[in-house]
Amino acid sequence: MATDAIAGTRVSGMNRAIVVIPTYNEAENLALLVPEVLAQDERIEILVVDDNSPDGTGKIADQLAADDPRVHVLHRPQKQGLGPAYRAGLTRAIELDADVIIQMDCDFSHPPSVLPEMLREIEDHDMVLGSRYLNGITVVNWPIERILISYFANVYSRAITRLPISDTTGGLRCVRRELLEKVGFERIRSDGYAFQIELNYRFVKHQARVKEIPFFFVDRIRGTSKLHLGVAIEGLWICWRLRIADLLGRI
C-alpha cells in the first residue's frame, strides 16, 4: 500500500523512538525485557504503563527509571484493560515528544531483536506491523487450538473489514506520531484484540503506508496470560461495528 498519508517520505532527523509497554503482574519479565529493548538502538526509550500491579511491577519500573533516564513510567490506579492502557501510553509518548511510537508486550512474545528492522522500515512507511501470519504461521509454543482460533479470527476480521493486513489482531506495531495524531486514537473505546483491529482500520482508512514484517511469536514462559473470553468476543463484533460506522461516515 503506497499512498501519501503523511507529508514527506522519511522520518526526518528521528531521534526518539518510545516503546510503550503495558504491564499488569509482569514482575518476572520487566527487569529482563527493559535492558534488551534499550540495547537494540540508542534512540529507543521505554514507557512502562502499569495498572497498579499487585506483584510489584510498578516498583520495579520505578527503579529501572531511576537507574536509566531512557525509562519512563506511567502509573494507573487500577486494571482497566489493554485498550485503555495503550490510549494512556500513546498519549504520554506524544507528550514526551516521540518521533515514532512502538507498541510491545512485556512477556517476550514480541522479540526485542525485531526492533532495528522496524526502525529501518518506518523511515519509508507510516506504520510497520509485526506479523505472525505473513509467511505462513510463525507462532511457537501455542497449543494447536489456540493457533487455529487466532488464525481464523484474522481470516474473519479481514473478510469483514477488508483490511489488507495479514495479522489484524497483533500487538507489535511501530507508527509515526503524525499518523497517531491524525486518526484520533484517543476516541477508541475497544479493548484487547478489538483495540488492535480498530487502530489498524483507522490507519488504513487514513491511507497510511503500511509495511508488514514477519517475526516469530513465542508464547510466554513467565507469568500468566491476561486474555479472556470477553476480549475475544469483542474482537468478533468490532469488525461489524467498524464496517457499519464506516458506511455511515462515522470513522
pLDDT digits (tens, 9 = 90+) for 185-221: 988 888 878 899 999 999 999 999 999 999 999 987 7
Is 173 part of a structural domain of the chain?
yes
Q: What pLDDT shows up at residue 239?
A: 92
Give a yes or no: residue 8 inside a domain: no
In a domain, 57, yes or no: yes
pTM of the model: 0.90
Question: What is the reported pLDDT for 227?
Answer: 57
Query: Can you give the CATH number for the domain in which 129 is found?
Result: 3.90.550.10
Q: Examine residue 9 and state whether it is found in any structural domain, yes or no.
A: no
Residue 123 domain flag = yes
* Full 3-state SS string of the chain: CCCCCCCCCCCCCCCCEEEEEEECCCHHHHHHHHHHHHCCCCCEEEEEEECCCCCCHHHHHHHHHHHCCCEEEEECCCCCCHHHHHHHHHHHHHHCCCCEEEECCCCCCCCHHHHHHHHHHCCCCCEEEEECCCCCCCEECCCHHHHHHHHHHHHHHHHHHCCCCCCCCCCCEEEEHHHHHHHCHHHCCCCHHHHHHHHHHHHHHCCCCEEEEECCEECCCCCCCCCCHHHHHHHHHHHHHHHHHHHCCCC
Q: Is residue 11 part of a domain?
A: no
* Domain around 223: 17-247
pLDDT at 115: 98
Count other Cβ atoms within 10 Å, centred on residue 55: 14
pLDDT value at position 110?
96
Q: Is residue 12 part of a domain?
A: no
- The total number of structural domains that make up the chain: 1
pLDDT at 222 (0 to 100): 72
C-beta separation of 104 from 19 below 8 A: yes
Q: Give the pLDDT score at 219.
A: 86
In a domain, 140, yes or no: yes
Q: Could you say which residues of the chain have pLDDT below 70? A: 1-13, 223-232
